[in-house]
Structure 1
Amino acid sequence: KALLENGVESLVIHFLHSYKNDIHEKQAERIARELWPNPFVTRGSALMSEYREYERGTTASINAAVQPVLDHYISSLRDSLQNEGYSRDLLVMQGNGGTVSSRIVSEDAVKTVMSGPASGVMAAAFTAGKSGFSNVLTYDMGGTSCDVGLIVGGIPQVSSELEIEYAMPVHVPMVDVHTIGAGGGSIAWVNDAGLLQVGPESAGAQPGPICYGRGGSKPTMTDANLVLGRLNPEKLLAVDHPVSLETVRENLMKEVGIPLGLKDAEETASAILRIANTNMAGALRLMSLARGHDPRDFVLFAFGGAGPLHASALAREMGIPKVLVPMRPGITNAVGCVASDVRHDYVRSINLPLQQVDMETIRNTFEDQVREGTELIQREGIDIEELIVVHDVDMQFQGQTHILSFTVEDSGVSRELLHSAFEKAYWNRFAVELPEIRPVLVNLHTAVIGRRKAVPLTSLMPLQTELKNSSECRKGTRSVWFEQGWQETPVYHREPLKPGSVIQGPALLE
């Protein structure tokens, strides 16, 4: 009552050992709901039944903070759509790469965290899969940041350990995305040690890069690409007038070139892009090599408003043989929302040495999670074609702090199967065997996925009356700066290009 009198909107109930026994936490929830005037009551173990109380508490707190905001927004959106004659349900993207009905999304609002980057990875899995590629490194570069993801065997990798601002952990399943401050608006600057840095500060949309002509004076990656001829100064997106290259060049030299002793704007712009590409390549290495994957076995899927500009340089740096660029890279994330299935994830902590685990309890837990997910999808009332269940296990060797996740085929697992699967996964990741240390079963995960009707790629293509050969799509040439200097470079109109067209580089596709 005191909380309500002070204007508190949402409530968290979080007991220390509720992951093991939630009777008292459930009782407290029942009492609270009798007094609380709205549905915004979060019970920690219902959201995340894991043994780490700090992570469980912060996750529950974030859920409570997001809940009323998301509920009010979604309710308003649904009402507006209904007033316009839209009578079907609205699906909302989640961070785990699946969708959920708008009628229940605010119950577990924290699961929408990182849903934007997740939708991009799902779009990459969908599009690359249709193109015949199952191992994909995704790279989404927008105006302020670069998000890198990993798809193995056609399946986006999912993690339950994310830290947001102030190192606050959020432990719900999310598509594993690593983000760095490198986008088209990232500012290039010289630090006190005289070293060139790019990002994480961004010029944003206001004032934006220098070339926008809105008062920005700090050089950005967009300005660097423009100076080198990789962007068309006559038709720059977000600018409704021709760009003054001279102003951009002067500011590049003033802020970066002269302090570093560089001879001209081209050398300065090239240095900015080299630093930015090095930073982004580091993120790609973290998502591939650091996880035991050779990037040469993958294709690079480049999207986002600025992604394709740097894709070739990054592929060259990483030794990636192929680059995929979708037709509309700036709105690829929206494709992910359209193509994603309904998904609900569940977790239960065990945290016992494998030899002490009751395998019947493991099987019962998996079955309970499947039943709960199936009932929730039925409650949503969404049309699905197939129900898919994925079981994952978190394990570690005794004394370790990090966990390793791997998939098991079905709920009927045995102790021997878990032991051998963990040793195999550990070897694949670290190339180390530790037979003398006892394995520990930490968590059980189940994803219940409702497969929606597949979206044909043709429905996402622009209406095109006539496809053309590459020679017919050539628009002219533009002088572009490469490492060897300026080179007159052919420019092609991408949209009408026939499938299978081959263009000899260097070239620009716009």
Structure 2
Amino acid sequence: MEAKINMWRVGVDVGGTFTDLFAWEETSGKQVTAKVLTTRQDRSIAVLQAIEKAGIAIADISYLMHGTTTATNALIERNYPDAAFITTEGFRDTIEIGRQHRKHLYDPYQTKPKPIIKRRFRYTVPERTNVQGQTERPLDIAAAHAVAKRIKATGIQSVGIGFINSYVSARHEEQMRDILLEHCPDIHVVLSAETRPVFREHGRFMTTAVRAACMPVMVKYMDDLEARLTRHQFVGKLLILKSSGGVMAADAARQHPEDMLESGPAGGVAYAGYLTKQSGFERILHTDVGGTSFDVSIVEDGRGLITRDHELEWEVPIVVPMLDIHSVGAGGGSIGWVDPGGSLRVGPQSAGSEPGPVCYGRGGTQPTITDANLLLGRLDPTLSGKMALDVEAAEKAMANLAQRIGLSTLATAEGMIRIGCEYMASAVKKILVSRGRDPRDFVFASFGGAGALHACFVAKSMNIPKVIVPPHAGVASAFGATVMDLRQDLEHFYYTPVQSADLDKINGILSELEARAKAALTAQGFDDDSRIALIRTAQMRYVGQSYEVDTPIPNGVLTADSLPGIEQAFHACHLKEFGVSSEDFAPAFVSFSVAAIGDMEDPPPVAISRIAGADIVKGERDVYFEGVWTRCQVYDGEALGTQDSIHGPAIIEYEHACTVLPPQTHAHVNAMGALVIDIEY
């Protein structure tokens, strides 16, 4: 009898400093983790290094779920080949003018972000479609051919096409695409009507421009990654994390890089949703501290909140559905510096993986949050035997910074931690207040290699009473990748007051969206119809409002009897988001969305395998809290069981993370192996 081949389901998250891996074997349930430094020159190299470090043969991988910041980094750094954009005559500068908002109301010197597409590569053609989808002015064919010839002469690889009102009729965009491909058959062409068929041209145009700019970058990245995997006999499926909280096939990722702008953090949100099922916490504040950034989002009833008005930068909106994740430049690699006024500052500049924190001994000279934690005794100088940290170099760099602000080395290190934690707390406050939530109703979930070092301090400053550090918190986004489902999101614009809605039209829209969404999953290799869930939402607002609220709507055929329930659901959602609602004002539908979700298998529960009689205490060391050295016990996090209870101050070390329990905290391990910390007030 032929032996069964063990196959692995692998999640990989490529961050700014580290590349994390979590994997589980589908037959035995065995789980492994790995963490390597990100290879910035080619991030796909670190993916293979992490797999090798985990001891997994690439030929034995059935699914590789991959979260990457490649598209985001390319946009932030404006590091992509020149792209072009074709629009309606008179709208050449829409993507640069924006919505005429001001980031700082009273700052006369503020400047807009660098345009996604340079002005000299933005072209216009005469055409016009009205809001009913009727042609007011046919596309000028001669002008279209002239633009196509000019683009061919530039050698540009990708072009976005966005015409006014094309969300109701894409005829002119399709004509322009066909003409462009006549002259440039090998060029990437993206249409705004296919990217996101919604009104408000600035968001639609900008999202299309982002897609066009990123497409050559992501096509090359996917090609390089798949080529490397193929050379190592990879025969499984490569799935890429989406910003909306699911995964998609690599071919879909090539065509829709705009769906990957929060690809990495989305894995952490998925893990927070998994925590809801395993631990019963209905309201979780997901936080993730890596080497470069601090990410925070809200997870309720197992799902992350979705936004359709994400801003990559000021006045750079991305109007695809995305998890509402807020990020600030506060991570383990964030650099301490002194501003012109002589004040200590931290970040957003990061040492990243190259050169990394000073204590890594890779050429870094500026002190970071990691160096501060090391000097305060909160990090083991050997990282539990994995890496020798240079304490002397970190102390020298911190002393140089301390001298500039007139504080002691330790006071400066502790000041850096406090400032970094306050930045994190401000990000938490921003996302909770903007969504009308009370922090006291949430559990603070700490993810990332540097997360649990700071979690209790951040939670306490926000009056959040409980912190949870789940198993494999140091590679949480990679873990979350393995619990994500295949997902396809589609949207159709249709504005109408609810009471005068054409239900036949709405049912037709929803039926078409569901069919297309299911077909998209099938095209990506998911053909088990019984495991596909369809989630409907309507983007709704009060008549006369400018912004919409996502409102769930029931499955099946909608009838007149369905409308009162939909209206009440809208009032409830509006109240939850903004703290106010009114039945005196009529609600309206703006657009309809369908998410098709293909259910993927979850990993087996984490086994708590403490050996009877094993010592959970690894040793002791002095840790600096509030200006005083305190002798603290150091615990082995992997050895803790449900019967163990720990009172702070203490240090709990895991394979890829470290938890700091300050004074006035106590912790225990729950049934799923997560560390639950209660904070006293």
> Counterpart of 2:667?
none
After TM superposition, give the deviation of residue 280 of structure 1 in Å.
0.7
Q: Say if 1:79 and 1:209 are closer, same or farther in 2 by CA, change over 3 A.
A: closer
Distance 2:577 2:155 in 1: 49
What SS is found at the alignment partner of 2:490? strand
TM-score (norm. length: structure 2)? 0.69
What SS is found at the alignment partner of 1:332? helix
Q: Say if 1:226 and 1:71 are closer, same or farther in 2 by CA, change over 3 A.
A: same
> Counterpart of 1:497?
640
Which of 571, 589, 592 is residue 444 of structure 1 equivalent to?
Answer: 592
After TM superposition, give the deviation of residue 273 of structure 1 in Å.
1.5
**Structure 2: unaligned runs, 5 residues or longer:** 1-147, 654-681
Which of 472, 484, 489 is residue 345 of structure 1 equivalent to?
Answer: 489
After TM superposition, give the deviation of residue 110 of structure 1 in Å.
1.5
> Counterpart of 2:554?
409
Distance 1:383 1:304 in 2: 34
Amino acid at match of 2:545: Q
Deviation digits for residues 443-490 of structure 1, max 9, x if unmatched? Answer: 2111111112232234xx7xx9x6246970211100011126111000
Q: Say if 1:422 and 1:308 are closer, same or farther in 2 by CA, change over 3 A.
A: same
Deviation digits for residues 156-209 of structure 1, max 9, x if unmatched? Answer: 111121111453111111111000010111122232334332211122233332
Query: In terms of mean alpha carbon deviation, does 20-29 or 196-205 score higher?
Result: 20-29
Decide whether the 8 Å contact of 2:294 with 2:329 is kept in 1: yes
Matches within 5 A, 1:265-276: 265-276=409-420
Q: Say if 1:455 and 1:39 are closer, same or farther in 2 by CA, change over 3 A.
A: farther
> Counterpart of 2:166?
18
Q: Say if 1:79 and 1:359 are closer, same or farther in 2 by CA, change over 3 A.
A: same
Distance 1:420 1:128 in 2: 27
> Counterpart of 1:390?
535
What SS is found at the alignment partner of 1:103? helix
After TM superposition, give the deviation of residue 248 of structure 1 in Å.
3.3
Q: Say if 1:212 and 1:396 are closer, same or farther in 2 by CA, change over 3 A.
A: same
> Counterpart of 1:57?
205
What SS is found at the alignment partner of 1:8? coil
Q: Confirm whether residue 133 of structure 1 aligns to residue 281 of structure 2.
A: yes
Q: Confirm whether residue 224 of structure 1 aligns to residue 368 of structure 2.
A: no
Distance 2:187 2:557 in 1: 37
> Counterpart of 1:90?
238
What SS is found at the alignment partner of 2:622? strand
Distance 2:237 2:323 in 1: 24
What SS is found at the alignment partner of 1:275? helix
**Structure 1: unaligned runs, 5 residues or longer:** none
> Counterpart of 2:623?
480
Decide whether the 8 Å contact of 1:145 with 1:180 is kept in 2: yes
Query: In terms of mean alpha carbon deviation, does 78-87 or 5-14 score higher?
Result: 78-87
Deviation digits for residues 34-57 of structure 1, max 9, x if unmatched? Answer: 554237221111110100112111
> Counterpart of 2:651?
508
What SS is found at the alignment partner of 2:630? strand
Distance 2:582 2:520 in 1: 41
Distance 2:164 2:455 in 1: 47
Q: Confirm whether residue 42 of structure 1 aligns to residue 42 of structure 2.
A: no
Distance 2:418 2:182 in 1: 60
Matches within 5 A, 1:113-262: 113-165=261-313, 167-235=315-383, 239-240=387-388, 242-244=390-392, 247-255=393-401, 257-262=402-407
Distance 2:314 2:284 in 1: 31
After TM superposition, give the deviation of residue 387 of structure 1 in Å.
0.9
Decide whether the 8 Å contact of 1:136 with 1:150 is kept in 2: yes
Matches within 5 A, 1:298-313: 298-313=442-457
Decide whether the 8 Å contact of 1:383 with 1:452 is kept in 2: no
> Counterpart of 2:434?
290
After TM superposition, give the deviation of residue 131 of structure 1 in Å.
2.6
Residues matched between the structures, number: 501
Distance 1:39 1:454 in 2: 40
Matches within 5 A, 1:326-345: 326-345=470-489
Distance 1:327 1:470 in 2: 22
After TM superposition, give the deviation of residue 344 of structure 1 in Å.
0.5
Decide whether the 8 Å contact of 1:470 with 1:492 is kept in 2: no
Distance 1:503 1:69 in 2: 49
TM-score (norm. length: structure 1)? 0.91
Q: Confirm whether residue 322 of structure 1 aligns to residue 466 of structure 2.
A: yes
Decide whether the 8 Å contact of 2:152 with 2:183 is kept in 1: no
Amino acid at match of 1:507: A
Deviation digits for residues 107-131 of structure 1, max 9, x if unmatched? Answer: 2222122111111211222244223
Which of 418, 423, 432 is residue 279 of structure 1 equivalent to?
Answer: 423
Amino acid at match of 1:254: N
Q: Say if 1:39 and 1:237 are closer, same or farther in 2 by CA, change over 3 A.
A: farther
Query: In terms of mean alpha carbon deviation, does 320-329 or 359-368 score higher?
Result: 320-329
Distance 2:286 2:320 in 1: 21
What SS is found at the alignment partner of 1:393? strand
Distance 1:287 1:89 in 2: 35
Q: Report the aligned-residue RMSD.
A: 2.5
Amino acid at match of 1:501: D
Q: Say if 1:467 and 1:391 are closer, same or farther in 2 by CA, change over 3 A.
A: same
After TM superposition, give the deviation of residue 307 of structure 1 in Å.
0.7
Q: Say if 1:201 and 1:238 are closer, same or farther in 2 by CA, change over 3 A.
A: farther
Distance 1:203 1:103 in 2: 33
Decide whether the 8 Å contact of 2:358 with 2:390 is kept in 1: no
Distance 2:434 2:213 in 1: 34
Q: Say if 1:487 and 1:190 are closer, same or farther in 2 by CA, change over 3 A.
A: same
Amino acid at match of 2:398: L
Q: Confirm whether residue 369 of structure 1 aligns to residue 517 of structure 2.
A: no
Amino acid at match of 2:651: L
Q: Say if 1:34 and 1:457 are closer, same or farther in 2 by CA, change over 3 A.
A: farther
Decide whether the 8 Å contact of 1:95 with 1:112 is kept in 2: yes
Distance 2:328 2:537 in 1: 28
Q: Say if 1:123 and 1:254 are closer, same or farther in 2 by CA, change over 3 A.
A: same
Q: Say if 1:198 and 1:80 are closer, same or farther in 2 by CA, change over 3 A.
A: closer
Amino acid at match of 1:177: I
Q: Confirm whether residue 108 of structure 1 aligns to residue 253 of structure 2.
A: no
Amino acid at match of 1:126: Y
Amino acid at match of 2:346: V
What SS is found at the alignment partner of 2:256? helix
Q: Say if 1:109 and 1:430 are closer, same or farther in 2 by CA, change over 3 A.
A: closer
Decide whether the 8 Å contact of 1:391 with 1:411 is kept in 2: no
Query: In terms of mean alpha carbon deviation, does 340-349 or 131-140 score higher?
Result: 131-140
Distance 2:385 2:435 in 1: 37
Percent identity, aligned pairs only, is: 34
Distance 2:583 2:641 in 1: 56
Greater per-residue strand proportion: 2
